[in-house]
Structure 1
């Protein structure tokens, strides 16, 4: 019993030496993992806020462009000229982020368009057009399907035109193509596999880049990230949720609002890509600590058994033999020889 307790004491001493060092190592690995996760959240939050601010600048640019076109001298003759559509088409070619440039008569008929008209088009029911007729400032409309380029989701920016007498003569509109904007603004190499998405308040994906799954224009109202944005009170934040493709992602989201243009912007990165390195480092540290602990305990057990306890047992047996009158008892290599001498002595 005493020897077993002695062995356990040695094992406990080894544990007392290994555990604090291992715990400190694991604590450092866990702290590094936590710092990496926090910095990753900050990084993706900044990414989505930068995208929101950049789009705001794009809308401001469209407003400035509309005001410039409104200052064209004798714009009635310019926009009603038969070559107007060609001039606007040449202008649009220099600005790929725009879906269309149009001149709309006061009754809503489009008479000049950078994008060829499929037929007669009237947009008298569009809110940005109606507001532009009665306002001197550019009017930003809500996200909508283009009235001419119907395959595109746009943000219209319209400004009312007046003649020298101050009479309204129509409206000039510059439509920002959401998909083209995202494609152009993310054309440079992006860090990691980050995906930017514009969401309508109804859960329709207005634009997405890159859009490998072809989700632009489709409803994803049941997506976890949209459910969280739509039902929560936060206007910006982060979340760790499954994406439309089923892969767990780290999301950052924010709200864009400028007049009637209101929608959500998200940036998503696969969680394994963003947090994988720190998680792997922590798992490696945990595995190495477990192996070191097992090796230390195993070594202590074997060492105490072979180098300490086994000789002590022999000494214990020798002492017992002496106590019983066995004066010739021995331990070690001479034990067998002295044992034979003892038998001869008895004979």
Structure 2
């Protein structure tokens, strides 16, 4: 997804036909009240931006707190005594050793080592709580049910909404409703009350900032959203800002930067595979993935900084300085916090070294760029 193209209406415009068939989150009427501009995304009619615009919403998240509706994402419960070991057959992450209420970013892989989705898995003590991407969630659910359904209870939590409160002031805002949130560490969650509302609050997110994801009953989502938006530090933000924030943070978007044709090693996600899983294997595609860990890959995901002001969009050809094709941009746009265009893309491994000068074929023009370290802005998670 390219946020600025979406904002200009070049992709995913909500036609009358799409609007009639698109699903809506529990916060739809609030979004409309707040003046949201909508797009269809993963079958949902979602806010791409509000009246302030994508850049203002992006910078609000970096400086204060921004509230995102992510209720289109799929929340899954997997319960049973063998749930953790069962899920480890499907993902390379260390799930068995997750401490109570700790969360882990992991990947659902196929037998060829490709990435079917990226997930957050939490040990909620009596079950595993999984958050999957909206576009792939139904397939993820079917896959997990097919593999674990005979030994585990696997169900979508269809009656739950999901909000993301992100930014350096998110904790102080949420602590007014329950001071307990200040005690949560990064990648930790618990069940607690926010005012009178029961919720599962997890200290994590996909913006590079400190923040929280809040799972709660769908019928209470609007009440909590209004309560949070009443805080002077908080503004509503849409999918456009969410996309530009994750891009600056060097975080992959499923369907752009990672998919079933790319492996965790190619995507520079080897860090998601713990020592025990590397030694034992036993997960889908482990032969391919562990071989790539030992021997390397032919291509690698890298950060790209165009030298000028012109952004490189997804699909832009990456070339050597002599003009030879060496890869493609998978996500690209303007980074409001960076004050310049930024991009992610795959290049041949021998051109992936940080500092390598390259060029980008942007609408037939060869524009200079450089391979740079990720992220483009420092992560500010609560450690």
Question: TM over 0.5: same fold?
Answer: no
Structure with the higher strand share, 1 or 2:
2
Report the TM-score when normalising by structure 2.
0.25
Bigger-Rg structure (1/2) = 1
Report the TM-score when normalising by structure 1.
0.27
Structure with the higher helix share, 1 or 2:
1
